[in-house]
Amino acid sequence: MAHEKLWGGRFSEPTDTFVEEFTASIDFDKRLYHQDIRGSIAHARMLGKQGILPMAEVEKIVHGLQGILARIEEGNFDFSVGLEDIHMNIEARLTEKIGEAGKRLHTGRSRNDQVAVDIRLYLRDEIVEISAYLDLLVDSLIYQAETNLGVIMPGYTHLQTAQPILFSHHMMAYVEMFTRDKGRMEDCLRRMNVLPLGAGALAGTTFPIDREHVAELLDFPQVTRNSLDSVSDRDFALEFMAASSILMMHLSRFSEELILWSTSEFKFVELTDSFCTGSSIMPQKKNPDVPELVRGKTGRVYGNLMALLTVMKALPLAYNKDMQEDKEPLFDTIDTVKGSLKIFADMVREMRINTGNMRTAAAKGFSTATDVADYLVRKGMPFRDAHEVVGKTVAYCIANGKDLPDLTLEEWKGFSDKIGEDIFDCITLEASVNARAATGGTALERVKGEIERVKAGR
Ligand code: ARG
């Protein structure tokens, strides 16, 4: 259906149909309908309070907008590409419904400050949801950490066996990361939670508006301080996308570990069937699709950040149509992050741990070599010399097909006369883990303490 353009006054020819399609954003910005209506209602009420519009008209507008909201939510609203975007689709429909009064709604406002407030309202709620999903994931990690307390696994550097650690310590490492991710989301929310409406097209408005009143109606603790900045920056969306990229980076590292730990070579964990798929040709396969996809989706979230950074780069103040390109990457980031967190929270809670395989692997690879060096230091040897002695011991073991616990006291003494019977107690997995007892270490008591601390803080 062809619609009269809301800005048609100065034009004598109709818009080319393809140009209309090309410039329209309605296909993706219709998801802002709720925020757009909420913002318009607040704006109209303020116009009424300030005597800019008669109260009777304000009531018509508010009632009309509420009706449109209901229609959209029922799926009974005809979005038109000819009306370009969500703002004009709603306004045109309002005028169709209530006449004159509808045409007065846009008094003292521009689509430029309108879209800026819509996105902020939208993103604000989404960030609250994302934070809740982060909490769910942290719950699952804590659940795994508590259920498997005492399980020892190899800790790696360079993906080579380094030192034994508690599986719970590994889970709690991710708790730290996702807790910081939540903090980044909250920081971003705080800076974003400022009302841009009232900036007009770019310079403010000639009407005696009350921005603080609109801020109160829309639950913004503050109003923006510069009209040009209000309509022309998207740093809040970029900040969210940067925080999302870091969050996805964390999820992708966790994904990678789960994929590796699910291989028949590692067999440290088993993801439940509901999070895996089979192969159409190889009957034995159970593929860890979920972590693989999350690892892959990290790429699109980074890409979204780069897309918007590049859109914004070198844009002169104030609003430019380029900025309409903010929405798709932003919405895609929100959807991807939410989906990834939701699925991870469930998958992590349900995954099963192969305690025995972890322990066997932890005992391999001379994982307690550092403990022997520390032992020698306690017996008075300088650390560098101790490192050398243990290095030689390991080389001897490799040459003779032995592991550290296989060595006799005689053999040990051949490397240093400082070594006594007590060496055997020092190189068990438990001793190695529990010796790392300073704050932040993998000792059982420390890890328990961390679990308690995190739980108490939630
Ligand atoms: N659809 C537009 C956007 O998303 C709304 C603002 C349009 N403003 C304008 N002057 N064309 O950016």
The pLDDT of residue 240 is above 50: yes
Within 10 A of 412 (CB to CB), how many other CB atoms are there? 20
Q: Please state, in angstroms and rounded to a whole number, the distance separating the CA atoms of residues 393 and 377.
A: 16
Q: Which amino acid is at 23?
A: T
pLDDT of res. 153: 98
pLDDT mean over 57-80 = 98
The pLDDT of residue 81 is above 70: yes
The pLDDT of residue 13 is above 90: no
> What is the pLDDT confidence band of residue 1, given thresholds at 50, 70 and 90?
very low
How many whole angstroms from 98 Cα to the centroid of ligand 1? Answer: 24
> Could you please report the per-residue DSSP string of 42-79?
HHHHHHHHTTSS-HHHHHHHHHHHHHHHHHHHHT----
**Cα torsion angle, 98, 102, 104, 108, sign:** positive
CB of 311 sitting under 6 A from ligand 1 = no
158 is catalytic: yes
pLDDT mean over 226-249 = 98
Domain ranges of the chain: 8-107, 112-200+223-360, 365-456
The pLDDT of residue 33 is above 60: yes
- Report the percentage of the chain scoring pLDDT > 70: 99
Residue to mutate, 233, 324, 325, 327, ligand 1, most ligand atoms under 8 Å from C-beta: 324
pLDDT mean over 270-293 = 85
> What is the pLDDT confidence band of residue 2, given thresholds at 50, 70 and 90?
low
**Tell me, what's the ipTM?**
0.96
CB of 25 sitting under 6 A from ligand 1 = yes
Q: What architecture is the 112-200+223-360 domain classified under in CATH?
A: Up-down Bundle (1.20)
> What is the pLDDT confidence band of residue 3, given thresholds at 50, 70 and 90?
low
Residue closest via CA to ligand 1's atom 2 equals: 324
Q: Please state, in angstroms and rounded to a whole number, the distance separating the CA atoms of residues 195 and 229.
A: 12
pLDDT of res. 277: 77
Residue closest via CA to ligand 1's atom 1 equals: 85
Candidates 168, 245, 279, 387; catalytic one: 279
Do the beta carbons of residue 156 and residue 454 sit within 8 Å?
Answer: no
Q: 8-107 falls under which CATH superfamily?
A: Fumarase/aspartase (N-terminal domain) (1.10.275.10)
> What is the pLDDT confidence band of residue 109, given thresholds at 50, 70 and 90?
very high
pLDDT of res. 229: 98
> What is the pLDDT confidence band of residue 182, given thresholds at 50, 70 and 90?
very high
Candidates 80, 110, 131, 158; catalytic one: 158
CB of 323 sitting under 6 A from ligand 1 = yes
User: Chain centroid to CA 63: how far?
Assistant: 37
Residue to mutate, 83, 321, 326, ligand 1, most ligand atoms under 8 Å from C-beta: 321
pLDDT of res. 290: 95
Q: Which amino acid is at 423?
A: I
Please write the tens of the pLDDT for every residue from 310-352. Answer: 999 999 999 999 999 999 999 999 999 999 999 999 999 999 9
Please write the tens of the pLDDT for every residue from 169-179. Answer: 999 999 999 99
CB of 252 sitting under 6 A from ligand 1 = no
Residue to mutate, 112, 113, 114, ligand 1, most ligand atoms under 8 Å from C-beta: 112
How many whole angstroms from 256 Cα to the centroid of ligand 1? Answer: 41
User: What CATH number does the domain located at 365-456 have?
Assistant: 1.10.40.30
Q: Please state, in angstroms and rounded to a whole number, the distance separating the CA atoms of residues 139 and 407.
A: 43
The pLDDT of residue 417 is above 60: yes
pTM exceeds 0.90: yes
